[in-house]
């Protein structure tokens, strides 16, 4: 199963956005962005909401509950990833 840290880093990288740029866009420090991507910490609910809006994805996708197409991820599929 993809964790938030993997999903967030992939979203940022696919859009060629630096950690500094992501921090500015999300009103967060560069250090916090780095911590999210390493799994050292996780964003709070308000930050999850901002990330979803800025990157145009659902909060369910960010949390690993749905795939990019909005389809639910079954328990078996989580184990395969």
SS3 content of the chain, % helix, strand, coil (to 5): 60, 0, 35
- Do 30 and 23 form a contact (C-beta atoms < 8 A)? yes
Distance set, CA 20 to CA 16, 27, 30, 62 (Å): 11, 10, 5, 20
**Whole-structure pTM value:** 0.84
What does the pLDDT profile of the chain (81 residues) look like in tens digits?
Answer: 689 999 999 999 999 999 999 999 999 999 999 999 999 999 999 999 999 999 999 999 999 998 888 888 876 554 444
Helix or strand (DSSP H, E) at 32: helix 30-38
């Amino acid at each position: 199963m993809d964790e938030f840290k993997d999903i967030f880093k992939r979203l940022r990288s696919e859009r060629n956005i630096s950690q500094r740029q992501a921090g500015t866009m999300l009103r967060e420090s560069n250090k916090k962005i780095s911590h999210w991507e390493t799994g050292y910490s996780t964003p709070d609910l308000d930050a999850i909401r901002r990330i979803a809006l800025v990157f145009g994805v659902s909060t369910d996708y960010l949390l690993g509950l749905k795939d990019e197409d909005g389809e639910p991820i079954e328990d078996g599929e989580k184990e395969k990833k």
